[in-house]
Every structure is written in structure tokens, then in C-alpha cells.
């Protein structure tokens, strides 16, 4: 399958994350999956007029291709005469990138949003959203975006949202391979268009801080070992992604790196309504509940587990390194 | 005179277009356009100061840690603190891994593939170079991508993930390292060293770092039988990349890798015609006469506000025009090595000029100078010592943070008012290098470096234009942000 990749209003970090793919040489892996990179801004030889002629041929329909990947948010601003001009991002001699993306999306067999910006607007849509950034088929949580809520590709799929800021290199590679092999169906996507193979997990799953979570033993400052949910803003119990099961850059994840999950795979993560590193609370109880957890039970269990916290867990939670090791149990003889 | 528009440029980070006024087969004037605006400085206004650590890395996917480190320094400066030794070492390690990975990406993925262009097909060196560096299929490219992916595993341990980590904090790092993790990090650095010594240099890093001038370089080259550096030097001579694309600007470095006690691995300063002067941050200003923003004449970053105006008459770029005491500057690895007085780079620039060849060679030389520092910093980490300290901020305060990113000097200016961000200004390396004209009509560094290049009035843009543009390793997403 022929693939065209465009970078819209983003940081290029999705591509850079992707280049860290660790299960074999990326370009060979793609070739094996039957994917040919027709044009990618970081990898292709063609530049300038040559690149423009190539992309124009695909946009006009003179040549056909299969997968359009868009990285970065679609910038609709500034508005001129009550219409979105797209002029905050021009590509190829003063033409708005927005127009290129719309033309190519109509010709593609599948359309894939790479990263939370292209999927939902993401970080580019934060604050007052000065560029009127949106995703391909979502404007934050609301369906729509620049392609509209009813857009479906040649086989009836909506835009496939490989969200994340950035997405894990495996998520991108595996989604593309599944599309190329016809193995990604509508059932394989969740309600935000995310492939369920990574979005049906929570960041909490496999978190190495689970014992601290069980006993609500929270870290108080960056660098401490305790659970980051109680005080430091962690949203791992609500964020859909398998970051602690499928690790990053070898052995990493946000939690393993000692900082909170900011739910970057979710729409509108960029505006949590509170400082990112602080857990909002009412009467000492965190407001953001874990997914599928009834509030009363959460409060009751938290109170109970907190009173049962072993001194070892409590002490280690606010330390930068293990102060007290687990006791050693000997078998009864 | 014919005006030619060159772009979109790929194999640069982000969006770039260059307008060339061609007269008599040569570039008479160049205008550099950064055609993407996202508005980070506007987005940051009104946020909690520490939230900057979430937003600024996302300015750029390739300089993500550098942006994060500059914000952390601005916040530490505002709080009046400095991280403990371990925190400083961890920040150096994290930033250095990113910078070296960027140098690798630049050389193998962005810069060298241009020598596999069709216009060189008749050259004696073409077969060898294109087999190694052809985009997407060259042998060297495949090996470099694999080495990069393995090296970036250091980020899993140091920073949780890359890009967009929150591990670098004003008070140190959120990722204390254990003895066993330091052991694994040493292994990763060791493997990277092995790749460089086998593939890039075909020599030990110490041999390369020890070359103290052109004579030593020539002597080494005569006996070199393999390696991509040897191949690059051969191209540099054949195509005279040495004199190609000189900007004639001053060279700025804000000092790279904090060694504690006010010392840096590479010293800060401003190099001008062989003399190094101190870097004075208060001399930095930004002019928006030819940039698409409300305003005009130069202002100090701490006093600026960013208000976009797409249809401003006479404006041709979203990039602002930073100036140091009114002068244009070039920044990057070449500036760092010149300012630091590295003997080989100084000698080469004195004899053959500060052009494409010197820019690329300085970058490669940094592998040989920084990897041993990585090894030393890992040895100096003390798992039992503190890694992070609190950094409380006053309700109203100011902070400035400088960092050397792969591409050069990066500065963040933070104003905190009533506990929130009142102003945030960022000047990135490529903002310096790819600056548009200012109120006095003074072109930026690349705009000057392109003047005089042979370009026909019609037909294919020659590869030399690409060599000059890419020799700066532009990062356009940082440039405008």
C-alpha cells in the first residue's frame, strides 16, 4: 500500500518517536507489511518542486495511493471574511495545509491521524486556541473536526486515531500494518476512533507504583517513589493506553520516569482545568475517579487501605530511593 | 531578475520555504520564510508556571528535552535555586543524549542523502556515496537508524520516554538512578561508542577529539581506510563545501552542559573574526519588522508580547528577527566549538572558512567530545545522594533559562505575575539562523549564506542550495513555535 505522510500544525514528535521503533529496522518492517512510503517529510529524497509535483499528482487523482497519515493539528485560522483561511500553516507556495489535507483525504483509501493533535487538536488547541486548531474528525471530545462527523473511508472506517503525545512507535507501526493487511475493522476502534489493541488498556495497568496505589501512599514531591495519583496529578487510572505494559524507549514510561500520566491519549488532555502536577481534591479526596469505579466505594476503600498502609510502604513513598526493604519470609519447618 | 520559490523543504524539522532573487545565474538576495505559526507564547499566558514543563517540550519533537531544560532553568532562576549535583548530571545526560541523537539524524537522514541526487550521477564518488546514503535505502542510513533507536533507550531510563518527558525539573530530575540502572546506561553508551568508532569514524573517539589542526586531520586522513567521516571529507574537498554558504555572522554560544560552579563543558561566548567576547544576555532583542506580528522595532524578550498578524504589509515569515546588540548571529555546533576554542575547528575556519564543511565537521566532532563526557557523568552520579529539590516560586518573579540545544542557543524568558505566567518568550537556535530582515533591512544568517550561490533562472534548483540550507540543521518547529 502506498502511504503519504503530511506534517500539519504539530511538533514533528510523532515521527521522531516512530523512528525509535525497536522491533527491527523500521523501513524493512514497513516493506514486509506491504507499505511503501511514497512521501514522508523527514525520510524522502524528493524536495521542493519535485515533492510538490508528486503530492499534487496524488491530490488531483492523477496517481492513486492508499493511506494518508496526518501528524499535527489542522489549523483553521486566521478567519478571513468569516471563513477559515488556514493561513497559519502554508505548504508549497502559499497554499494552506488544510486544503492539501482535505484534497488528499478525499482520494485516500484510509485516513490516519498520527498523534493527539491530528486526532483531537491536542496541545496546539490549548489555552485560547490562537490558531483555531482541530483534529481530522474530532474537535476535542466533539465529533466533527475538519473532515466532519460523517466522514468514512473507502471501507467504511472513520479516521483512525493513533492518539498520544507522542504515540508509541509500536502503535503507529502496528496500526499501519493492520490497515495494509485489511485486519483493522470498525470493531477494532473505540468510540474516539482509537485502535483498541492499545486503547482498551489503562496506563494504570502494569504501573510499577501499584503497591503505593493500593495503600494510597502518595509521593509529595517530584522524584519520590510513591503513587503520583494522590498529590501529583497522575491520571493513569483513567487514561486509555498500554504504556506500562508496552514500555517506552526500552524500559520507560511516564510513571517509570517519575512523573504523572497527563492522559495524553485522551481528547482535551491539554486543558485539564487544574495545574498538571497537582491533584484537584474536595475535602481531601481526589476528584478524578479511576475508570469504572463508583465514588462511594472509592472513598471507602481509600480510607480503609490508607489506615492499613504498612510502615515500609509509607516511608518509601516519600523517599527518592528504597529506605526499607520488604521483610523476608521463611517457610515454616 | 527572477524570483524563485524553493520549497517545501523536506528532511528539515518542520516547514520551510526560501525565496531567491536570481540575477545572472546567481542568488542576489534570499528571503527565508517559516510558514507555520502555532502560538505557544500565547497559549502559555495565564497558565501555572510549572505547566510550562508540559507545554514547551511539545514545541518541538526533536529538541524536546532542550526546550524542557530551558524552561526548567528559567523556573529555577525565578525560584533562585540550583539542582543538586545528581540533578545537574542527569539533566546533562538527558540533554546530551538528545543532542547526539539529533546530530546522528541530521548527518545520516537529513544532510547526506542530498549527495545521492541525480545531478551528481557522473561523479567518481557517486556509486559509493549513493549506496550508503540514498534516502530510505542507503546502508549507512539503515545502520544509523538502528544505532539511534538503541541509543534512545537511554531515555527510557533517564527520562521515562522521549520525546516529551517531564523528568527535567527546576529542582533536578524526577528519575533517581540506581547503581544497576547506571550500569545499564553505561552499556548503552558503550554500544553507541562502538557504532561511532566502527561506522562513522573508523577510529577511536579519542583519536578524533585529539586532532588539533588541519595538518593533523590530513595526516589522519591519509591513513584512514574506511568510515563516513573520511567519505564526508572527500566530498567536502571535491565540492569545496568549505567555502560554500558562509554567513559572515557572529557566532553565539550560551555555554553547553553545566559542569557546576559556573563551568561548562563548552564555554559560552560570542566569536567574531577570531576573537571571543563574553555573552551578555541583556543585549538580546527581537525585531518583528518583517515578521507577521503586531509591532516593529526591536524589543527585549522580557518586554515583548506575541500578537500574530497574518496580513501585515512587508512581512514574509512567522520567524522573528533576534539580534545581539543589533548584530545577526549564527548558532550551533560550529559556534560552540569556535567559542570553546577547539583547535581543529578554529584552524579550519581560519584557513578555509566557516561554511557548510565546518558546520558539519563541528557537529561530527561533538560526538567525539561529548560521548566521553557522558561516560564521565555516569561515573559521577551518586545513587545515595539527592536528585531533586523543591523550587517554590514567589507570586511575582522573573526567570531566564539558557541551554545549548543540538542546533545552538536556546533562551526562555519567563514573567510570573500573581502566581501565573504573565509573559513567556522563546528564542530558538533556528530563530537566530533563519531570521528574516530587521528594521534596518539587515538579512539573517541563512539569508546571507545563500547569496552568491549559482542558481539558474529556470529548471531544477541545484543541490548546493540544499547543502547550504541543511548544513544549519534547521528546526523550523522551534523557530516559530
The CB density around residue B283, as the number of other CB atoms within 10 Å, is 13
Q: What is the pLDDT of residues B327-363, one digit of tens each?
A: 999 999 999 999 999 999 999 999 999 999 999 999 9
Query: Positive or negative CA dihedral for B391, B396, B402, B407?
Result: positive
Q: Is A254 at the interface with chain B, CB within 8 A?
A: yes
Q: What is the pLDDT of residues B166-195, one digit of tens each?
A: 999 999 999 999 999 999 999 999 999 999
Q: What is the pLDDT of residues A167-194, one digit of tens each?
A: 999 999 999 999 999 999 999 999 999 9
Residue B12 has pLDDT above 90, yes or no: no
Which residue in B118, B103, B109 sits closest to B137, CA to CA?
Answer: B109
pLDDT band at residue B77 using 50, 70 and 90 as cut-offs: very high
CA B386 vs. chain centroid, Å, equals 31
Please tell me the pTM assigned to this model.
0.97
Q: Is A173 at the interface with chain B, CB within 8 A?
A: no
Gap between the Cα atoms of B33 and B320, Å rounded: 10
First CA to last CA distance, chain B? 34
Which residue in B214, B93, B97 sits closest to B152, CA to CA?
Answer: B97
Residue B304 has pLDDT above 90, yes or no: yes
pLDDT band at residue A332 using 50, 70 and 90 as cut-offs: confident
Residue-level pLDDT at B228? 97
Q: Is B19 helix (H, G, I), strand (E, B) or coil?
A: strand
Q: What is the pLDDT of residues A271-301, one digit of tens each?
A: 999 999 999 998 888 888 899 999 899 989 9
Task: Compute CA distances A101 → A137, B193, B307, B457, whole Å.
Answer: 12, 42, 27, 31
Residue-level pLDDT at A51? 93
Enumerate the β-bridge partners of residue B58: none
pLDDT band at residue B13 using 50, 70 and 90 as cut-offs: confident
Minimum Cα–Cα distance from A129: chain B residue = B43
Averaged confidence pLDDT in chain A: 96
Residue A93 has pLDDT above 90, yes or no: no
pLDDT band at residue A46 using 50, 70 and 90 as cut-offs: confident
Gap between the Cα atoms of A219 and B61, Å rounded: 29
Q: Is B152 at the interface with chain A, CB within 8 A?
A: yes
Q: Is B394 left (phi over 0), alpha (psi -120 to 50) or beta?
A: beta
Residue-level pLDDT at A92? 85
Q: Is A109 left (phi over 0), alpha (psi -120 to 50) or beta?
A: alpha
Cβ of A48 within 8 Å of Cβ of B35? The answer is no
Cβ of B466 within 8 Å of Cβ of A42? The answer is no
Gap between the Cα atoms of B199 and B140, Å rounded: 8
Give contacts of A43 with chain B, Cβ < 8 Å: 11, 109, 135-136
Cβ of A258 within 8 Å of Cβ of B173? The answer is yes
Residue A333 has pLDDT above 80, yes or no: no
Residue-level pLDDT at A94? 85
Averaged confidence pLDDT in chain B: 97
As a whole number, mean pLDDT of residues B389-407 equals 97
Name the CA radius of gyration of chain B, rounded: 22
Percent of chain B scoring above 90 in pLDDT: 97
Q: Is B104 at the interface with chain A, CB within 8 A?
A: no
Q: Is B146 at the interface with chain A, CB within 8 A?
A: yes
pLDDT band at residue B213 using 50, 70 and 90 as cut-offs: very high
Residue-level pLDDT at B182? 98
CA atoms within a 13 Å half-sphere pointing along the CA-CB vector of A81: 0
Gap between the Cα atoms of B429 and B475, Å rounded: 8
Give contacts of A260 with chain B, Cβ < 8 Å: 166
ipTM of the complex: 0.97
Q: Could you say which of B54, B155, B388 has the minimum Cβ distance to residue A222? A: B388
Number of helices (H) and strands (E) in chain A: give both, helices first: 10, 13
At CA B11, angle to CA B200 and CA B404, rounded to 5?
70
Amino acid at each position: 500500500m502506498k502511504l503519504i505522510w503530511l506534517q500539519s500544525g504539530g511538533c514533528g514528535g510523532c515521527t521522531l518517536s516512530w523512528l525509535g521503533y525497536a522491533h527491527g529496522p523500521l523501513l524493512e518492517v514497513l516493506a514486509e507489511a506491504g507499505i511503501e512510503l511514497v512521501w514522508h517529510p523527514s525520510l524522502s529524497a524528493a524536495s521542493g518542486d519535485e515533492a510538490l509535483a508528486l503530492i499534487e499528482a496524488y491530490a488531483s487523482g492523477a496517481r492513486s495511493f492508499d493511506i494518508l497519515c496526518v501528524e499535527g493539528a489542522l489549523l483553521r485560522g486566521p478567519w478571513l471574511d468569516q471563513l477559515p483561511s488556514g493561513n497559519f500553516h502554508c505548504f508549497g507556495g502559499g497554499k494552506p495545509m488544510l486544503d492539501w489535507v482535505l484534497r488528499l483525504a478525499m482520494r485516500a483509501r484510509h485516513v490516519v491521524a498520527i498523534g493527539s493533535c491530528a486526532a483531537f487538536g491536542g496541545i496546539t488547541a490549548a489555552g485560547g486556541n490562537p490558531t483555531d486548531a482541530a483534529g481530522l474528525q474530532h474537535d476535542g471530545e466533539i465529533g466533527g473536526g475538519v473532515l466532519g462527523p460523517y466522514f468514512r473511508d473507502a471501507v467504511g472506517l472513520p479516521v483512525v486515531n493513533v492518539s498520544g503525545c507522542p504515540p508509541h512507535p509500536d502503535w503507529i507501526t502496528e496500526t499501519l500494518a493492520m490497515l495494509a493487511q485489511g485486519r483493522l475493522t470498525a470493531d477494532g476502534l473505540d468510540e474516539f476512533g482509537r485502535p483498541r489493541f492499545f486503547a482498551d488498556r489503562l496506563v494504570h495497568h502494569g504501573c510499577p507504583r501499584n503497591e503505593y496505589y493500593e495503600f494510597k501512599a502518595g509521593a509529595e514531591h517530584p522524584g519520590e517513589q510513591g503513587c503520583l495519583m494522590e498529590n501529583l496529578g497522575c491520571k493513569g487510572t483513567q487514561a486509555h493506553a498500554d504504556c506500562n505494559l508496552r514500555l517506552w524507549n526500552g524500559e520507560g514510561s511516564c510513571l517509570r520516569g517519575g512523573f504523572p500520566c497527563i492522559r495524553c491519549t485522551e481528547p482535551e488532555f491539554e486543558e485539564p482545568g487544574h495545574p498538571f502536577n497537582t491533584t484537584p481534591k474536595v475535602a481531601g479526596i481526589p476528584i478524578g475517579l479511576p475508570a469504572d469505579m463508583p465514588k462511594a466505594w472509592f472513598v471507602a476503600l481509600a480510607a480503609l487501605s490508607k489506615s492499613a498502609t504498612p510502615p515500609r510502604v509509607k516511608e518509601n513513598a516519600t523517599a527518592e530511593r528504597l529506605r526499607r526493604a520488604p521483610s523476608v519470609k521463611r517457610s515454616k519447618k | 531578475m527572477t524570483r524563485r520559490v524553493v520549497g517545501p523543504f523536506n528532511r528539515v524539522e518542520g516547514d520551510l520555504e526560501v525565496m531567491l532573487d536570481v540575477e545572472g545565474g546567481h542568488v542576489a538576495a534570499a528571503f527565508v520564510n517559516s510558514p507555520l505559526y502555532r502560538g505557544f507564547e500565547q497559549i502559555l499566558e495565564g497558565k501555572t508556571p510549572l505547566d510550562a514543563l508540559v507545554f514547551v517540550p511539545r514545541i518541538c519533537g526533536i529538541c524536546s528535552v532542550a526546550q524542557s531544560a530551558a524552561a526548567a532553568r528559567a523556573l529555577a532562576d525565578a525560584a533562585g535555586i540550583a539542582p543538586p549535583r545528581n540533578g545537574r548530571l542527569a539533566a546533562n545526560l538527558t540533554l546530551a543524549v538528545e543532542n547526539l541523537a539529533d546530530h546522528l539524524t541530521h548527518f545520516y537522514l537529513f544532510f547526506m542523502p542530498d549527495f545521492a541526487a541525480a545531478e551528481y550521477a557522473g561523479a567518481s564518488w557517486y556509486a559509493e556515496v549513493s549506496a550508503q546514503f540514498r534516502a530510505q535505502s542507503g546502508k549507512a542510513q539503515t545502520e544509523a537508524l538502528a544505532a539511534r533507536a538503541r541509543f534512545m533507550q537511554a531515555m527510557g531510563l533517564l527520562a521515562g520516554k522521549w520525546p516529551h518527558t517531564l523528568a527535567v525539573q527546576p529542582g533536578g530530575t524526577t528519575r533517581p538512578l540506581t547503581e544497576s540502572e547506571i550500569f545499564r546506561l553505561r552499556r548503552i553508551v558503550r554500544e553507541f561508542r562502538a557504532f561511532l568508532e566502527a561506522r562513522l569514524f573508523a577510529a577511536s573517539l579519542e583519536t578524533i577529539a585529539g586532532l588539533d589542526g588541519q595538518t593533523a586531520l590530513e595526516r589522519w586522513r591519509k591513513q584512514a581506510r574506511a568510515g563516513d567521516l573520511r567519505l564526508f571529507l572527500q566530498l567536502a574537498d571535491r565540492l569545496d563545501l568549505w567555502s560554500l554558504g558562509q554567513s559572515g555572522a557572529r557566532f553565539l554560544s550560551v555555554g553547553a552542559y553545566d559542569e557546576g560552579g559556573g563551568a561548562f563543558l563548552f564555554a559560552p561566548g560570542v566569536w567574531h573574526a577570531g576573537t571571543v567576547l563574553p555573552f551578555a544576555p541583556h543585549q538580546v532583542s527581537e525585531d518583528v519588522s518583517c515578521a507577521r506580528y503586531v509591532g516593529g522595532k526591536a524589543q527585549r524578550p522580557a518586554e515583548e508580547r506575541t500578537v500574530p498578524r497574518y496580513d501585515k504589509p512587508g512581512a514574509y515569515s512567522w520567524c522573528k528577527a533576534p539580534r545581539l546588540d543589533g548584530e545577526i548571529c549564527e548558532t550551533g555546533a560550529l559556534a560552540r566549538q569556535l567559542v570553546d576554542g577547539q583547535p581543529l575547528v578554529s584552524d579550519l575556519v581560519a584557513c578555509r572558512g566557516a561554511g557548510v564543511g565546518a558546520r558539519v565537521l563541528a557537529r561530527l566532532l561533538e560526538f567525539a567530545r561529548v560521548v566521553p563526557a557522558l561516560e564521565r557523568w555516569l561515573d559521577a552520579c551518586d545513587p545515595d545522594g539527592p536528585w531533586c529539590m523543591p523550587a517554590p516560586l514567589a507570586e511575582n518573579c522573573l526567570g531566564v533559562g539558557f541551554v545549548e540545544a543540538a542546533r545552538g542557543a536556546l533562551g526562555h524568558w519567563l514573567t510570573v505575575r500573581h502566581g501565573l505566567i504573565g509573559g513567556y518568550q522563546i528564542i530558538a537556535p533556528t530563530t537566530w539562523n533563519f531570521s528574516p530582515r530587521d528594521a534596518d533591512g539587515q538579512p539573517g544568517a541563512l539569508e546571507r549564506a545563500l547569496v552568491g550561490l549559482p542558481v539558474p533562472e529556470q529548471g531544477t534548483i541545484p543541490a548546493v542550495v540544499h547543502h547550504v540550507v541543511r548544513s544549519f540543521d534547521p528546526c523550523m518547529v522551534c523557530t516559530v513555535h
